[in-house]
Amino acid sequence: MEQVWRQFKVPEAPPLVPEEAMETLRVAPGFRVELVAAEPLVEDPVAMAWDERGLLYVVEMRGFMPNVDGIGEQEPVGRVVVLEDADADGAMDRSAVYLDGLVSPRAIAAVSGGVLIGEPPNLWLCRSEAEAGGLPRCASRERLLDYGDPDPDLLEHTENGLLWALDNWIYNAKSDRRFRLRRGTEGAFIEVDPTLFRGQWGMAQDDVGRLYYNTNSRYLYADLIPADYALADPEHQPRGGGIGASERLVHDETVYSIRVNPGINRGYVGSMLRGDGRLAVTTSVSGLTVYRGDQFPSTFRGDVFVPEPAGNVVAHFDVAPGSERDGVPTLTAEHRRYGDADWIEREFLASTDERFRPVDAKIGPDGALYVIDMYRGILQHVRYVTTYLREYILEHGLDRPIGMGRIYRVVWEGDADEPAPVRREAPALADATDRIVSLSHPNGWHRDTAQRLLVENELDDADRDALRELARSAADPLARIHALWTLHGRGELDEATTLAAIRDGNPWLVVHGLRAGEETLAGSAAGQAAIGELLDSSSAQVRSQALLTLGAMAPEATWARTALAERVAAHPDDPFHRQVAVAANPGAVGATEAPEPPAAAPAMTAEEAARFNRGRRHYRSCNSCHGNDGRGLEGLGPSLVDSPWVVGSPERLTALVLHGIEGPIEVHGEIWDDLMPGFAADPRLPDTAIAALLTYVRRSWGNAADPVSPELVTAVRERTGDRIHPWTAEELDSAFP
């Protein structure tokens, strides 16, 4: 493959000590970057979480790509470490191993008395105890459920995130389910609920609980309304979760780096690099965060920061309310660029060091922006490393060293208009009184943590009364919203508190009163009357939520079904009304009709049917990009349903799966410019397995194409055996007309 990097002046990228690495960083005006931790305190960090004392837990994926061929990555060398800033100067002073012996861990969340750790295929609940030095360690652990996929080849496509959201559910990227941690008489257990499939690496929420996520080639998506309402009737749910769910907020995926970046997986594709060798578009977008702190100026509140480690940058998006569309309030996201002496435009945070790999970002207890830098040369997992990238890595010595890593803090250092705030001490969340007060804290981390602790722990009568009073009458709407969901999570939300919220003038407080109080309002005459009035509110947030609440109540409440039918009949051309009606009741007025069933496919022999059933198991390697229903996932993979690439020539499809394909490729009028790797070298997929997989996709979801035999796969493999690069669409069409 052409060594494109030779046409650019690629600077050397020797490993730098932390002080040298910080000299390569460029940050937006008014901000300063500080070092929080580096090796040996932390190595190969990928995720982090703080507990209520301000201790920082960091997941170390120490087994990731120990060499360019990934040999040894399944060794149990992964760890979780806990870091402490003993003198409160902002830099971590000591580190201790909390739990080791893990294989590719990738997610963590603090819970009362311990932490949750995601290590596919395990979700562990670790209970902590203090060692002699005072830092906690995992004294015991309990496996709660299957988490992600144990297949090491799916490292980039399995569950991660563990975001405890405003509604008390734990959400994950690369997942179509959400969890609630419960504590019963016989110990902890997990409640599992289906939800919209979202994202790839990391999850975040804003102050009002909207979820944000991304994929490796798309900066930003958001749920403008809670997508779970649209999933009430899985047989009739709209594609992608429906209107207002899984909204792509950014359509221009341009990257503004400050160094040449030819060391990417498809650097040989012209559209991936600028003329000067810098990364042109996203290719490895990672864990994002919404700014909900109080250390930056208030104008940054609600903005989103997104790492792009292949471009050695963290991008900044100014998120603001948009216009109403289809009855749902929207958001806009403006990509903020900053001037630089060397480049015309650059990102919020950027480095000239190729080893700067920002893979996750969080807002800390002090309100600053924290960025995890995995700091290594190899970023791409071995399953997807192209020949081009492998040669680049080895020529530039990026396979060594390993075992490094940094955590940075970005702080506002002040200007003439906005001075820097005083750095805060450790959080004060020791008891219920502190926690109830912290529901009014200006930093979202404190509110979230206080809510979680209040939900997880017992309260006395005085604290319950104080919490209920906060929910009913606090001056700050955000404090009341958190108090509502705290009461809901505790099972103590009453009618009077709910009615006080939905009768308030703040639109978001009304929205959350409706959401949290659905069960209470369903049997309340006052609640029913209020919902009827709110359907005609001047606020789009309130109107849309009132309709969703009505739809959620319809299956159980006759009055709600009647009101919904009347509402839909009065708005026959409104797609959002029809969507809610279909989710609530497939027979409701205005519901769309089910599509015509596909033409009957020719019967399979017993041998072909057995092959089809085996293929169902192999398809789990594909559903993370193409979806369980084969209809594709935005930004990840195209639909396989009635696709000419799937139901057309079996030889062409076999060649595609054996050697992969790179875009552009057109499916149902949509252009895809991503790379699908080949499986020819995968020892777990011999010709019999590939035949089973292809038989399954050609005979599922209404597809009616002929099965594929192992003999056909063998013949195509022999015919294309000397191929080492992915196909283009033109090459496939020419080779298999």
Look at 220 and 725; give whichever has higher pLDDT: 220
- In angstroms, the Cα distances linking 239 to 245, 638, 639 are 10, 13, 11
Residues linked to residue 677 through DSSP beta bridges, in sequence order: 660
The rounded distance, in Å, linking the Cα atoms of 499 and 505 is: 12
Percent of the chain past pLDDT 70, that is, above it, reads: 94
End-to-end CA distance of the chain: 25
pLDDT at 268 over 70: yes
Residue 474 has what pLDDT?
A: 96
Look at 682 and 189; give whichever has higher pLDDT: 189
Confidence of residue 236 (pLDDT cuts 50, 70, 90): very low
Confidence of residue 679 (pLDDT cuts 50, 70, 90): confident
Least Cα distance to 516 among 208, 142, 214 occurs for 208
Look at 627 and 562; give whichever has higher pLDDT: 562
Look at 161-175, 188-202, 709-723 and tell me which has the smallest mean pLDDT: 188-202
Residue 227 has what pLDDT?
A: 82
pLDDT tens column, 74-101 = 999 999 999 999 888 889 999 999 999 9
pLDDT at 2 over 70: no
Q: In this structure, which amino acid lies at residue 495? A: E
pLDDT at 198 over 50: yes
Tallying the residues shown for the chain, one arrives at: 737
Confidence of residue 241 (pLDDT cuts 50, 70, 90): low
For residue 664, is the peptide bond before it cis, meaning its omega torsion is within 30 degrees of 0? yes
Percent of the chain past pLDDT 90, that is, above it, reads: 64
Confidence of residue 28 (pLDDT cuts 50, 70, 90): very high
The rounded distance, in Å, linking the Cα atoms of 197 and 624 is: 9
Q: In this structure, which amino acid lies at residue 212? A: Y
Least Cα distance to 220 among 247, 241, 195 occurs for 247
Residue with tokens 């063998």: 714
Distance, C-alpha 132 to centroid of its chain: 37
Residue 386 has what pLDDT?
A: 86
The rounded distance, in Å, linking the Cα atoms of 552 and 561 is: 10
pLDDT tens column, 429-452 = 989 999 999 999 999 999 999 999
pLDDT at 369 over 50: yes
Residues linked to residue 213 through DSSP beta bridges, in sequence order: 221
Confidence of residue 271 (pLDDT cuts 50, 70, 90): confident
Look at 642 and 586; give whichever has higher pLDDT: 642
Residue with tokens 């492998």: 390
The rounded distance, in Å, linking the Cα atoms of 259 and 289 is: 24
Residue 342 has what pLDDT?
A: 62
On whether the CB atoms of residues 500 and 481 are closer than 8 A, the answer is no
Helices (H) and strands (E) in the chain, counts: 20, 30
pLDDT tens column, 515-556 = 999 988 988 899 999 999 999 999 999 999 999 999 888 877
Range from 69-73, 175-179, 369-373, 655-659 that averages highest in pLDDT? 369-373
Domain ranges of the chain: 4-234+246-412, 468-584, 606-735
On whether the CB atoms of residues 341 and 370 are closer than 8 A, the answer is no
Fold adopted by 606-735: Cytochrome Bc1 Complex; Chain D, domain 2 (1.10.760)
Residue with tokens 């861990």: 105
Same CATH fold assignment for domains 4-234+246-412 and 606-735: no
3-state secondary structure of 571: coil
pLDDT at 596 over 60: no
Confidence of residue 719 (pLDDT cuts 50, 70, 90): very high
The rounded distance, in Å, linking the Cα atoms of 378 and 32 is: 27
The rounded distance, in Å, linking the Cα atoms of 688 and 211 is: 42
Residue 737 has what pLDDT?
A: 84
Look at 560 and 358; give whichever has higher pLDDT: 358
The rounded distance, in Å, linking the Cα atoms of 123 and 142 is: 8
Q: What tokens does 400 get? A: 């060594």
Look at 516-525, 633-642, 651-660 and tell me which has the smallest mean pLDDT: 633-642
pLDDT tens column, 692-717 = 999 999 999 889 999 999 999 999 99
**Domain 4-234+246-412 falls under CATH 2.120.10.30:** yes
DSSP string over 642-709: T-HHHHS-HHHHHHHHHHEEES-EEETTEEE--EEE--TT-TT--HHHHHHHHHHHHTSTT--PPP--
Does the pTM exceed 0.85? yes
Residues linked to residue 179 through DSSP beta bridges, in sequence order: 170, 192
The rounded distance, in Å, linking the Cα atoms of 355 and 698 is: 43
Q: What tokens does 436 get? A: 């109830």
On whether the CB atoms of residues 636 and 215 are closer than 8 A, the answer is yes
- Tell me the average pLDDT across 111-115: 94
- Tell me the average pLDDT across 169-189: 84
- Tell me the average pLDDT across 408-418: 88
- Tell me the average pLDDT across 590-614: 66
Residue ranges of E strands in 413-496:
none
Q: In this structure, which amino acid lies at residue 546? A: A
Residue 663 has what pLDDT?
A: 76
Radius of gyration, CA atoms only, the chain = 26
- Tell me the average pLDDT across 589-610: 62
Residues linked to residue 26 through DSSP beta bridges, in sequence order: 350
- Tell me the average pLDDT across 332-351: 87
pLDDT tens column, 47-62 = 999 999 999 999 999 9
3-state secondary structure of 395: helix
Look at 71-80, 407-416, 503-512, 568-577 and tell me which has the smallest mean pLDDT: 568-577
pLDDT at 637 over 90: no
Residue 595 has what pLDDT?
A: 38
Distance, C-alpha 387 to centroid of its chain: 29
Mean pLDDT of the chain: 89
pLDDT at 428 over 90: no
